[in-house]
Structure 1
């Protein structure tokens, strides 16, 4: 069976034989080819001379490049201290005083935007100016008279005459109509300011008028203190027709919630017009207190 694995055809046997002959020839030739020793190259005088000249040429080239691109140190401008006005001096004047160009540019931009130096101490605020530089230059700062004082406009206003009615309060015994008084009149009642007056008027608008002073308790006001100043006229409320208005209008009233408004509208659709609140007493959404509160604000025709 091993012959089955190592069996080669005639062509394959020829190929194997040729390959073996080539391998033997290559191995034999390697023995006869001499190899050059690297140490012999290094010890060769001509090689050492060429190598030294090559290294020297590279160093010379690097030196010439560094010399060409070497930054030449900036030659500082000679400082000349002389009187100057920071409001009118140009950039050359600032450079001659020893200030760098970027600082001179900042000063010019500050002036271009309307900035002024009113007194020598203002020059101390220049960005980047050191205390030493300011001390050196301050004796030479000379500000023109037109810049020395800031132009100001004095606004003279007459004192308004005191409004003697601004904090006026009604004397004891005064009674006003709660459904007709505006915020100005309400503020004349002792204990009522602007906020409370606006609160009363706003709640009155939501209700459609008050039918008794005690309703102010709904907005957390002390009725005991206000009762002597306020009165309510009869039939001073605006009434809602339960047979015509929709749910949105009904639930907008402070005394009618959404579920009560929904029952009123559905009752109308199923059983017809509402003639009295007695027809709604079977619904648990309404209580006797609810009927008492909404009675002055509803009608059926």
Structure 2
């Protein structure tokens, strides 16, 4: 049972490991790819081009295709990140959250498949106009950064209608992300017409993830109702995230104290210092632990291969649905 995603990258399971900054290093990326999915390196704005090269080499050592995720707003100030990726020539590059259009053709000319994450139908139209190779529907249930306007299922249906060959334009493959916490969710989006799942939260506590020990414990204890969406943590970090892209993370005391006061927090040095200190100490009460609404299923520290193997049982549910 193959499809565009599996055939293009030689996968045995239609799963892409979402590129999560501070979580998806080379080891996790390689482990997902080795298990039959497509691992992706999460290159956040704070990393260096040398970090991308080093971790990319670790990912490539598996001998399997892998990808790299870049944030378009950060690339504008870190063109060396793009240069490093072009040197690595991964199979897939995700460019999202900002103006990615200047970089699409350059990556494609290097033989790299280009994806972008979309949170609305308007985003999807822009992606098609920009000529990306694959559209990633990111619903509001998803962890990490993106939009909060539309849930995964309604957005997926609308984007699939837009990208189908019957819409009058070229057919564009679509991946789905947000709330896909296991094989039942993967079967659901495949049955709808997606080519695969864009999976992040399920890998947060994988043995190969960069997730620190205190964060793992908090994530494993979280329920599906424990996440919150907003820009509090971005205001505190001063990393440069555009306000239009908030993030879904675990709710904590710091978020509750500053929610609704984000503009004030941007210039509050004490609040910034508290957040930085908590991040260094991995204090779950004040730092950001990005996770989606599927976080409630996390248990233990499985290997990435075990997570992929679990998703591989989607066929049972897909047959039942069809």
Structure that is richer in helix per residue: 1
**Structure with bigger gyration radius:** 1
Q: TM-score range by the shorter chain?
A: under 0.3
Q: Which has the higher contact order (CA 8 A, sep 6+)?
A: 2
